[in-house]
Structure 1
Amino acid sequence: MKSILLSGIFVLGLSAAAYAQEAVIGAILPLSGSSATQGEDQRRGMELALEKINADGGVLGHPLKIVTEDSGGRTATALDAAKKLVTVDKVPVVLGEFSSGITIPIAQYLLQQDRVHINIGSSSTQIRTLGKGAFSVIGLDDVSGAFAAQDVFADGAKKVAVIAPNNAYGQGITNAFAAKFKSLGGVITSTVLYTEGQTTYRRELQQLAAGEPDLYVYTAYGKESATINRESFELGLNDKKWYGLYLTMCTADSDAQYVEGQIGMDLNYIGGNGADYQKAYEAKFKGSFTSTFNGFAYDGVMLVAAAINKANSLDPKKIETAIADIGKSYEGVTGPIVLDADGQRSAQPYLRLKVESGKAVATQ
């Protein structure tokens, strides 16, 4: 398990123990493994947030620091990281992870330890049931699934087949999509929940095609998305439209030829307050966003810093109270963030995208 200390710079392998009297929080991200593209982009958002916070004076008179642990995309590793952050680094707040199936157990552990958890990238509706001390700066799947279903139906597809990972995220978003799509009068010809880590998904794709849908709906990330996109292309399934749930995530690790023309929805990841942030990102990292998730990591860190200053304390309970208060109306780079009674973002704007010349571009 690799630790990274963020304080405007990154130092590999450096213990955070020496900073116990300073303002230190924790993060768990998939910096390696199948979701490394998204995890690295989350890290970038956090780095920019730290630069902004510390340039403005830090928190409680100290520079803010983040001890970041690499989950490797594995639940056991993430739980070990959470335990280290609590028992060794003694942080009051932890942000992360990316995959819902990892975010949920680490959040449960953190809440048991009376720490605050900030969800910056997961969308399973199970997150809503975590309880006090758990907050999300990103919208959940009950909202995104319904948006996608309306979008697909409005596009003219009345029969669709759905493929998603067999985990908390995949199950949640497919259920939300199906419920809304059926309520509109649509038909789900088949739903395939695949096991992650396979070398091929041809059998699942053939099963998907058997019902002769008008359109394929899918969600995937990392090497699984790359394999699914390549094999669906090789099987000739791209003769019909493919709709990606979180399209940039679905296509980020795939060759352009396999995803050209795909449509889908994604997070509206830059609000009216985000133009300067986008410029700062592009200047620092010499290119455009590699996912839609960096801004939520940025907003999560900024929200925590504001809460620490408001609470005038690093006590988790005081920070929790401050987050709930600030979260009644907070303007982030991803747009307005309003936290409901469960600590969840109550409204999340989305975009409709299409892959053109290898890039996902907004169509509305």
Structure 2
Amino acid sequence: MRFVKKYSPVLLAAALLAAVVFASAFPALAESGKKTWKIGGIFSVTGPASFLGDPEKKSMELAIEEINAAGGVDGRMLEAVIYDTEGDPSKAVSAAGKLINKDRVTAIVGPSLTPTTLAVVPMINRTQLPFVSCAAGNKIVEPIKPWVFKTAQSDIQAVAAIYKHISQKEIDKVGILTVSNSFGESGREQLIAQAENFGITVVRKESFGAGDTDMTSQLTKIRQEKAGALICWGTNPGPAVVAKNVEQLGIDIPLYQSHGVASPKFIDLAGDSAEGILLPTGKILVADLLPDDDPQKQVLTDYIDAYENKYDETVSGFGGYAYDAVYLLARAMEGTGGDKEKIRENLENIKGHVGISGVFSFSQTDHNGLDPSAFVMVRITDGKWQLVK
């Protein structure tokens, strides 16, 4: 038989009053009893794509440190749980499984790459967890997947920025060289689809493997077609190899790269061959050159100062993808009590959020939330980024 101990109404009222007084007198102690909200991170911290994942990991930790110092979300602290994928899709899937099933995270930031992100998306769709990728490929958010968002600027807008600049130079024939993975395929599709809109003809389409160390054969074929400009679409180290091969072959036409190489690492890898290369990038690489009335300038300079002071290394635009993702999630988590569907709905309704990668305004039909103002064109001159107006 189960016995229930009974208390008199007077004693019960006194006990409740004492509990209220204790909690109000010691708010810090009461607050300390709250659990943290865990945010998962999946990044290519090591391996060939570490130039992406390492600054993303650091930027996620920086953002969470700042949010917690300001009181957390609804008074509750955030906790980062981060795994290294090494750029391997299978390891990304394994890491996502750990975050969901073992760590019980509220949301996930990352992965760093389009292939690793696309590998994880089916699991996200099944488990229905708020997910903000740091990769660029359009296929991540097109077609729309309810739980999947991304902070990296769109391939659509990157291609448009390149073609706009090329058309202003009255060049009407281009050759394209794209990496053989989902990021390269997405860029290739847009380069072909948008060419006619700018009066441009793609006279040769070539590709290269992510690990290839020589592209002279492909470049020779493009040169034979009398292209007026060359567009390379990939992430390091392949694009740096292309830059060196272009110089070795004496190909004297403008070389454009994608936003996938917008970091100091590309200049380090390409060396002197980087001179004169043009590419679209987020504004972070030229933050000091922006006009004072640019809505992103203060956010960018604050982030740059915080990152470089904390880690004693030069900032890259890639870290900003994770930084933005954490702040967007923190904003979406407010008032939800951790309810994942409410977080997802709040993400989808964020408007005018000024971030590192641009000003975000999501909707039911746009889970990237950036417009063409998120990009500027830059030229590498004397090993530095120069704003092209």
Q: TM-score range by the shorter chain?
A: 0.7 to 0.9
* 1:305 aligned partner: 330
Report SS of the residue matched to 2:104.
coil
Q: CA deviation at 1:143?
A: 2.1
Q: CA deviation at 1:330?
A: 1.9
CA distance in 1, matches of 2:183, 2:356: 24
- 1:105 matched to 2:119: yes
Change (3 A) 1:287 1:260: same
Change (3 A) 1:207 1:20: farther
Give matches, 1:185-264, under 5 Å: 185-237=199-251, 239-246=252-259, 247-249=261-263, 251-264=266-279
* 2:308 aligned partner: 282
* 1:331 aligned partner: 354
**Structure 1 gap segments, 5+ residues each:** 1-18
When you count helix as a share of all residues, which structure comes out higher?
Answer: 2
* 2:379 counterpart letter in structure 1: K
Report SS of the residue matched to 1:243.
strand
Q: RMSD between aligned alpha carbons? A: 2.2
* 2:238 counterpart letter in structure 1: E
| Alignment partner of 1:294 out of 319, 329, 333 | 319
Q: CA deviation at 1:62?
A: 3.5
CA distance in 2, matches of 1:220, 1:135: 22
CA distance in 2, matches of 1:163, 1:85: 37
Q: CA deviation at 1:242?
A: 0.6
Which structure exhibits the higher relative contact order, with contacts defined as CA atoms closer than 8 Å and separated by 6 or more residues?
1
Report SS of the residue matched to 1:274.
helix
* 2:145 aligned partner: 131
| 1:307-350 per-position Cα deviation (integer Å, ceiling 9, x unaligned) | 22231x2232121122223x133222433210122323141421
CA distance in 2, matches of 1:356, 1:310: 48
Change (3 A) 1:253 1:315: farther
Contact 2:161 2:377 in 1 (8 A): no
Paired residues in the alignment total: 342
Q: CA deviation at 1:234?
A: 2.0
CA distance in 2, matches of 1:267, 1:193: 25
Q: Quick check: which has more Rg, 1 or 2?
A: 2
Q: State, as a whole percentage, how many aligned pairs show the same letter.
A: 22
Q: Which moved more, 1:124-133 or 1:92-101?
A: 124-133
Q: CA deviation at 1:20?
A: 11
CA distance in 1, matches of 2:268, 2:137: 20
| Alignment partner of 1:340 out of 359, 363, 370 | 363
Contact 2:262 2:281 in 1 (8 A): yes
Contact 2:140 2:148 in 1 (8 A): no
* 1:15 aligned partner: none
* 1:74 aligned partner: 88
* 1:282 counterpart letter in structure 2: E
* 2:17 aligned partner: none
Give matches, 1:32-111, under 5 Å: 32-111=46-125
Q: State the TM-score, normalized to the length of structure 2.
A: 0.82
Q: CA deviation at 1:225?
A: 2.4
Q: Which moved more, 1:134-143 or 1:76-85?
A: 134-143
* 1:6 aligned partner: none
* 1:268 aligned partner: 283
Report SS of the residue matched to 2:351.
coil
Q: CA deviation at 1:36?
A: 0.8
Contact 1:222 1:253 in 2 (8 A): no
When you count strand as a share of all residues, which structure comes out higher?
Answer: 1
Q: CA deviation at 1:53?
A: 0.4
Contact 2:153 2:357 in 1 (8 A): no
* 1:330 counterpart letter in structure 2: H
CA distance in 2, matches of 1:233, 1:123: 29
* 1:155 aligned partner: 169
* 1:362 aligned partner: 387
CA distance in 1, matches of 2:335, 2:136: 26
Q: Which moved more, 1:256-265 or 1:196-205?
A: 196-205
Q: State the TM-score, normalized to the length of structure 1.
A: 0.87
Report SS of the residue matched to 1:26.
strand
| 1:100-157 per-position Cα deviation (integer Å, ceiling 9, x unaligned) | 1221221221121111110223232452224111122333222221222112111232
Q: Which moved more, 1:271-280 or 1:28-37?
A: 271-280
Report SS of the residue matched to 2:269.
coil
| Alignment partner of 1:315 out of 322, 336, 339 | 339
| 1:277-333 per-position Cα deviation (integer Å, ceiling 9, x unaligned) | 2222232233432x322222111101111222231x2232121122223x1332224
CA distance in 2, matches of 1:78, 1:252: 28
Contact 1:221 1:253 in 2 (8 A): no
CA distance in 1, matches of 2:50, 2:133: 17
CA distance in 2, matches of 1:126, 1:120: 10
4+ residue runs of structure 1 moved beyond 3 angstroms? none
CA distance in 2, matches of 1:121, 1:242: 23
Q: CA deviation at 1:219?
A: 2.1
